[in-house]
Chains A and B, each alone.
Chain A
């Protein structure tokens, strides 16, 4: 079965600095990959997704992620963060061979400091 690993439970960063949130998934022939953001006491909002094609995916709010098949990674990056980016970020995967259920990582809390 698919699994997703987010090694960093919390990432503190200063405002306007770049940030990378790491995500690794268990190997599979084909996967669909997602990054979601969750603000306090709210549901999840899709930041970006990789289904096929270009390995560099651009999303909302200036975020982007790169699909790296050889390293089974899908790290999320932003060149300059804002205070408002403080939130919980979840990486998720769908294994098309396994009923299309979303499998979530444990989440990374991005804490942007002034």
Chain B
């Protein structure tokens, strides 16, 4: 259980185009999904927290107009990189919180990641 999928796993696009990445919780409902960015040989950097039915909360320094996040249902969040440029090339990973748990925190389950290359 607690499987999170991402689609696509890899995408190559031209500079100036927009790319949409989907994150789905397959066998559970997630009130909150997180989007991370990982540079080569670096750690994960939290970009934004996405709550179902409301606007995403972006971390400091992340352009909300550049990285559009939509969380339309309890099982789907999307990240759209608008007008992508080569510096947006990165590994993007999402995670989802399980809806109910016995501890005052909800465990995050991670997707397999999406490798974005902007030419």
A residues whose Cβ falls under 8 Å from a Cβ of B = 32, 36, 41-46, 49, 51, 90, 94, 96, 99-102, 104-107, 109
Q: Is the CB of B110 within 8 A of A43?
A: yes
Given known A43-B110, A43-B113, A45-B110, contact A106–B105 (CB-CB < 8 A): no
**A-contact 0/1 string along B86-113, CB 8 Å cutoff:** 0000010101000000011111101111
Interface size for chain B: under 10, 10 to 19, 20 to 34, or 35 or more residues?
Answer: 20 to 34
Q: Is the CB of B43 within 8 A of A42?
A: no
Q: Is the CB of A94 within 8 A of B113?
A: no
Which of A36, A44, A51 contacts B103, CB < 8 Å?
A: A51
* CB of A60 to closest CB in B, whole Å: 14
Q: List, in ascending order, chain B residues with CB within 8 A of A32's CB.
A: 103, 105
* CB of A108 to closest CB in B, whole Å: 10
Q: List, in ascending order, chain B residues with CB within 8 A of A100's CB.
A: 105-106
**A-contact 0/1 string along B69-93, CB 8 Å cutoff:** 0000000000000000000000101
Q: Is the CB of A44 within 8 A of B110?
A: yes
Given known A43-B93, A46-B107, contact A101–B113 (CB-CB < 8 A): no
A49 to B105, CA, bound (A): 12
Ranked 10 nearest A-B pairs via Cβ: A43-B110, A44-B110, A43-B112, A104-B43, A106-B43, A43-B113, A104-B44, A100-B105, A107-B43, A43-B111
Q: Is the CB of A42 within 8 A of B104?
A: no
* CB of A105 to closest CB in B, whole Å: 6
Q: Is the CB of A106 within 8 A of B42?
A: yes
